[in-house]
C-alpha cells in the first residue's frame, strides 16, 4: 500500500511539472487537467482505504481480547464447578460415614436419617411443655393459694425401620418433671405381617382410651381430663396385634396389666391382662383422628370406638387376687371447624379381700376454630366413684396456634363444681394431681379453681 502511495505521489508531481511546463509554453491542455483530477481522486481513495484498515485492525484486536476474556470466564466457571463437586462429595462422604451413603433432612414433620437404598431409616421428634399454674381452693389447708412454673413434659422419640420397612422400632425417652432424670417411656419393636396385620412387642400404651391414645402434644386443653386420668391403663409390657382394613381398625394386647411399665415380671400385681379396642371410621381420613382440631378447609370426619380390658390379679398371695374389668365407648366428630368428642368409661372390680365397687366417668368436650389460629373450647366431665362420691369439673379455654401444634399457646381455667376428694385406695389412678394443676379439697369444700397456661414446642 505504501509503495503504491509513493508511486502515485511521484506521478502527481510529474503531472504538476508537465502542466507547469505547458503553461510556461503559453497553453493549457484539457487532457492533462483531467488526468490530474483522476490522480487526486485515487489519492483520496487510498487515504480512506488506509483509514478503514486501521479501524479493521482495532476491531480485530478487540475481538481477540473478548475471545480471551470469554475463555478465561468459561475456564473460571469450570474450575468453580469442579470445586463445588469436590466439596459436595466430601460433605456426602463425611455425612454418610458409610460406603453406600446416608442422607439427612426434614420431611416437614420430623428430622430423619436414611440410607440411599431405603433399608434403614431413623426419625427424630419430640416436644416440650412449659406451664404456669395458679390454684385456688378454700378452707382445705394452710396455703389455699398456690402458683408457680412447671416443666410438664420433655420428650424425645426415635423411630424408623432396620433392614426392611416392615421391621420397625420406636423408642421414647422422657425427663422427669421433678428430678430431670431421663427414663424410658416406650420401647416398641414391630413387624408388618401383611397389608392388614402388624405385630408389636415391648412397652407401650395399652389400646384403650381415645384421649390417652392421642399424643400429649396434640391435646385440646392444657392436659388430659381428670376422667381419663382416673380410668387410664397407661403403659404396659406385652405383645400387641394391630389390624387395619379400610374403615376398620382394631388392636388386641396381652400384657402384664395396667400401669405395669418398668415392672419386672415377678414384681407386677397381675397374672395376665387382655385389652381389645375396635375403631370405625364413618367419614374422613384416619389422620384426622390424631388430634382434637377441625382445621378450616378440611373435609368432615367422624369416628366411633369401643374398648374393654380384663385383668386377672396375682395368684398365690392371700388377699391380692383382685380382678377387674374396665370399658369405654367414645366418638369424635369434626365438621366446619367444630370438634366434638365424647366418652363414657366404666370400671367393675372383683376383690378377694375387699368389697367390690363400680365407677363411672363421662367426658364431653367441644371446640371451634374461630380463625385459622384461634380455637376456643369447653369441657365437662363427671366422675362417680362407686356410686357414693360424685365430682363434676368444667374447663374453658383457648388454643392459639403459631405453627399448628409445633408452636402452640394454651390457656384454660378448671373449675371444680364439687369437692375434689382423693381417689379410694382400690382405684386404678388418682384424678387429682399436680400434673393436672389440681389439689385435694377438704370435705364439703367445693369451688376449686386452677388457671393453667402452657406453651408447647414440637419438632
Strand partners of residue 210: none
Q: Would you state the pLDDT for residue 208?
A: 98
- Structural class in CATH, domain 128-151+197-458: mainly beta
Q: Which of 383, 361, 277, 271 has the alpha carbon at shortest distance from 323?
A: 271
Q: Judge contact between 273 and 311, C-beta under 8 A.
A: yes
Where exactly are the structural domains of the chain? 2-80, 128-151+197-458
- Per-residue three-class SS string for the chain: CHHHHHHHHHHHHHHHHHHHHHHHCCCCCHHHHHHHHHHHHHHHHHHHHHHHHHHHHHHHHHHHHHHHHHHHHHHHHHHHHHHHHHHHHHHHHHHHCCCCCEEEEECCCCEEEEECCCCEEEEEEEEEEEEEEEEECCCCCCCCEEEEEEEEEEEEEEEEEECEEEEEEEEEEEECCCCCCEEEEEEEEEEECCCCEEEEEEEEECCCCHHHHCCHHHCCCCCCCHHHHHHCCCEEEEEEEEEEECCEEEEEEEECCCCCCCCCCCCCCEEEEEEEEEEEEEECCHHHHCCCCCCCCCCCEEEEEEEEEEEEECCCCCCCCCEEEEEEEEEEEEECCEEEEEEEEEEEEECCCCCCCEEEEEEEEEEECCCCCEEEEEEEEEEEECCCEEEEEEEEEEEEEEECECEEEEEEEEEECCCCCCCCCCCCCCCCCHHHCCCCCCCCCCCCEEEEEEEEEEC
Q: Which of 276, 290, 238, 279 has the alpha carbon at shortest distance from 259?
A: 238
Task: Measure the CA–CA gap between 411 and 423, rounded to whole angstroms.
Answer: 27
Q: Would you state the pLDDT for residue 400?
A: 98
Q: Would you state the pLDDT for residue 80?
A: 74
201 contact partners, CB below 8 Å, separation of at least 6: 188, 189, 190, 238, 239, 240
Q: Which of 389, 398, 377 has the alpha carbon at shortest distance from 416?
A: 389
pLDDT tens track, the chain, 459 positions: 444 545 554 544 544 444 444 444 444 567 667 766 776 777 677 777 777 777 777 777 776 766 655 555 666 677 777 777 776 666 555 544 444 577 888 887 788 889 888 899 999 999 999 999 999 999 887 789 999 999 999 999 999 999 999 999 999 999 988 888 999 999 999 999 999 999 999 999 999 999 999 999 999 999 999 999 999 999 999 999 999 999 999 999 999 999 888 777 767 778 899 999 999 999 999 999 999 999 999 999 999 999 999 999 877 666 556 899 999 999 999 999 999 999 999 999 887 767 788 999 999 999 999 999 999 999 999 999 876 789 999 999 999 999 999 999 999 999 999 999 877 776 788 889 889 999 999 988 999 999 999 999 999
Q: Would you state the pLDDT for residue 322?
A: 80
64 burial (CB, 10 Å; 0-12 / 13-18 / 19+) is exposed
pTM here is 0.76
Q: Judge contact between 235 and 186, C-beta under 8 A.
A: yes
Task: Measure the CA–CA gap between 257 and 274, rounded to whole angstroms.
Answer: 8
Q: Judge contact between 406 and 113, C-beta under 8 A.
A: no
Grid cell locating 245: 382394613
Length of the chain: 459
Residue 411: count of CB within 10 angstroms of its CB: 17
Amino acid at each position: 500500500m505504501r509503495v503504491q502511495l509513493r508511486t502515485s505521489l511521484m506521478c502527481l508531481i510529474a503531472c504538476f511539472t508537465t502542466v507547469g511546463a505547458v503553461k510556461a509554453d503559453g497553453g493549457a491542455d484539457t487532457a492533462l487537467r483531467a488526468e490530474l483530477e483522476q490522480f487526486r481522486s485515487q489519492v483520496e481513495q487510498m487515504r480512506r482505504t488506509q483509514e478503514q484498515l486501521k479501524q479493521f485492525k482495532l476491531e480485530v484486536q478487540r475481538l481477540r481480547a473478548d475471545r480471551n476474556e470469554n475463555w478465561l470466564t468459561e475456564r473460571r466457571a469450570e474450575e468453580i464447578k469442579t470445586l463445588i463437586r469436590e466439596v459436595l462429595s466430601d460433605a456426602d462422604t463425611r455425612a454418610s460415614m458409610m460406603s453406600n451413603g446416608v442422607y439427612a433432612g426434614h420431611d416437614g414433620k420430623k428430622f430423619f436419617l436414611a440410607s440411599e437404598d431405603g433399608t434403614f431409616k431413623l426419625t427424630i421428634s419430640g416436644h416440650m411443655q412449659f406451664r404456669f399454674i395458679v390454684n385456688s381452693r378454700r378452707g382445705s389447708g394452710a396455703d389455699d393459694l398456690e402458683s408457680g412454673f412447671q416443666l410438664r413434659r420433655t420428650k424425645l422419640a426415635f423411630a424408623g425401620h432396620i433392614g426392611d420397612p416392615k421391621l420397625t422400632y420406636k423408642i421414647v425417652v422422657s425427663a422427669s418433671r421433678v428430678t430431670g432424670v431421663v427414663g424410658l417411656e416406650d420401647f416398641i419393636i414391630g413387624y408388618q405381617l401383611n397389608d392388614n396385620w402388624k405385630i408389636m412387642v415391648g412397652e407401650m400404651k395399652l389400646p384403650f382410651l381415645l384421649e390417652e391414645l392421642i399424643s400429649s402434644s396434640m391435646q385440646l386443653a392444657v392436659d388430659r381430663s381428670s376422667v381419663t386420668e382416673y380410668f387410664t391403663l397407661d403403659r404396659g409390657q406385652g405383645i400387641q396385634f394391630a389390624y387395619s382394613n379400610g374403615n376398620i381398625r382394631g388392636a388386641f394386647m396381652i400384657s402384664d396389666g395396667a400401669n405395669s411399665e418398668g415392672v419386672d415380671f415377678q414384681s407386677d400385681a397381675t397374672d395376665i391382662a387382655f385389652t381389645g379396642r375396635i375403631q370405625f371410621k364413618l367419614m374422613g381420613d384416619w389422620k384426622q383422628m390424631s388430634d382434637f382440631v377441625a382445621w378450616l378447609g378440611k373435609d368432615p370426619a367422624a369416628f366411633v370406638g369401643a374398648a374393654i380390658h380384663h385383668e386377672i390379679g396375682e395368684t398365690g398371695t392371700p388377699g391380692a387376687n383382685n380382678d377387674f374389668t374396665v370399658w369405654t365407648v367414645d366418638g369424635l366428630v369434626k365438621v366446619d371447624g367444630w370438634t366434638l368428642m365424647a366418652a363414657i368409661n366404666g370400671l367393675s372390680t372383683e376383690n378377694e379381700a375387699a368389697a367390690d365397687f363400680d365407677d363411672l366417668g363421662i367426658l364431653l368436650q367441644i371446640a371451634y376454630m374461630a380463625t385459622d389460629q384461634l380455637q376456643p373450647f369447653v369441657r365437662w366431665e363427671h366422675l362417680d366413684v362407686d356410686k357414693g362420691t360424685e365430682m363434676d369439673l368444667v374447663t374453658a379455654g383457648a388454643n392459639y396456634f403459631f405453627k399448628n401444634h409445633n408452636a402452640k399457646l394454651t390457656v384454660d381455667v378448671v373449675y371444680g363444681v364439687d369437692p375434689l376428694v382423693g381417689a379410694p385406695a382400690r382405684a386404678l389412678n388418682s384424678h387429682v394431681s399436680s400434673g393436672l394443676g389440681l389439689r385435694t379439697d377438704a370435705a364439703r369444700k367445693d369451688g376449686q379453681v386452677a388457671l393453667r397456661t402452657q406453651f408447647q414446642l414440637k419438632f
